Copies of this chain bind each other. A is one copy, B any other.
Amino acid sequence: MDPLPTLISDLQTPCLLVDIDKVKRNCSRMIQRYSDLGVELRPHMKTHKTIEGGELMTNGTRRKIVVSTLAEAEFYADNGFDDIIYGKPVIESQLSRCKKLHEKCSKFHLMFDNEEAIYALERNPMKNKAWTVFLELDIGGKRTGVQWDGDRVVELARLATNVQSVEFLGIYTHSSVSYSLTSDKAVKIQAENDTKKILHVCERIQQAGIPVGVVGLGDTPCCSVSDISMAKLTEVHPGNFIFYDTQQCSIGSCEFDDIAVRVAARVISHKPEINQIVLDSGFVALSHDGLYCNLPNGIAVFQDHPELKLVNMSQEHGCVSVKSGQIDCSAYPLNSMLFIYPYHSCATAANHPVYYIHSGDKVIGVWKPVKGW
């Protein structure tokens, strides 16, 4: 392994750059915001999947996180993190790994949105403790989670409460509706509405005589903008805010200057005959996510080069042209670096086996994310 270069300009490309100063600022702001609101921040690890990022998002406590895969749960548990929620409805084939996770950390919680999951936990009890579970609600995100306004909400909470090997902790939701919004004002209204919905569910369950310890809501847009009513929640679990991206910026979650990740790429070919240059970053480095989004700059926003647009990608090639007119290839010399702000940092980071951490122009380290499931 070659030693790490001192300067960004000496890095091999393509690569993912993480601006540590922006990451720290993004984390501090979110920590402060929910400390002020009196709500626990349980950050989601899925965007970065690194120890270092988890450390910053938890303000050094390594406690209270959400993960998107069991591989993440195992990685964090092996590295001293605790109080971990596996953020998807659990299925029976995962319980053997879940039991081992319970041996590695004191608190490892599961999500469920159906009866079958609770029956599976009943069939597979742990020796000395109960499975701790959250009921996942669908409040409009149209993904997993039981419909928030249906009868099954209370039935499922009751089932989880009544089964001996299970302890019902509360309710959780991730509403992705906010991802379709385009202003912080709209997100604030969404945050208020989402909060109302989950508090209404909480009330219904409590009225049925079932205690609800935790009421948690997620998604980076709502948690970044927030509404004062969110003070009535007990937890929030945003994830993307550590990096942000151009999508979040267009939603109103952050300022452009808050985006902490860029893909560094180099020019490898000049093609004036077809009005383009070619970069060494294709869909593996950038990801396809958002390819048909409506953002004026598309999925790739070129730093200091508003005239450029990504016109095509293959696995390791990115074809770039100008928004209008004929490209002047001499303005983008061969071997020179361009920096691309990604549309969806979760998708882009997922493709990189290592992130290059920098402060200003200086490379100060690398973070290695966990991969797989």
Q: Which residues of A contact B (CB under 8 A)?
A: 2, 10, 12-15, 46, 68-70, 88-94, 97, 113-114, 116-117, 120, 138, 142-145, 147, 150, 176, 266-271, 273-274, 276, 278, 280, 283-285, 287-289, 291-292, 312, 314-317, 319, 334-335, 346-347, 350-354, 371-373
Cross-interface CB contact of A316 among B46, B270, B317, B335, cutoff 8 Å: B46
Given contacts A13-B373, A15-B373, A117-B334, contact A350 B315 (CB under 8 A): yes
- Across the interface, do B12 and A314 meet the contact criterion of CB distance under 8 Å? no
**A27 to B: closest C-beta gap in Å:** 20
- Across the interface, do B46 and A12 meet the contact criterion of CB distance under 8 Å? no
- Across the interface, do A273 and B346 meet the contact criterion of CB distance under 8 Å? no
- Across the interface, do B280 and A46 meet the contact criterion of CB distance under 8 Å? no
Bound-complex Cα distance A55 to B2 (A): 28
- Across the interface, do B334 and A114 meet the contact criterion of CB distance under 8 Å? yes
Cross-interface CB contact of A88 among B142, B268, B283, B287, cutoff 8 Å: B268
Inside 8 A of A315's CB, which chain B residues have their CB? 46, 68, 346-347, 350
Nearest opposing residue in chain B for A317, CB measure:
B143
Bound-complex Cα distance A147 to B269 (A): 12
Inside 8 A of A273's CB, which chain B residues have their CB? 147, 150
Q: List 24 A-B contacts (CB under 8 A).
A: A14-B373, A46-B315, A68-B315, A69-B316, A88-B317, A91-B266, A91-B267, A93-B335, A113-B269, A116-B334, A142-B274, A142-B319, A143-B278, A143-B312, A143-B317, A147-B271, A176-B314, A287-B288, A288-B288, A288-B289, A288-B347, A315-B346, A350-B351, A353-B371
Bound-complex Cα distance A70 to B142 (A): 42
**A148 to B: closest C-beta gap in Å:** 11
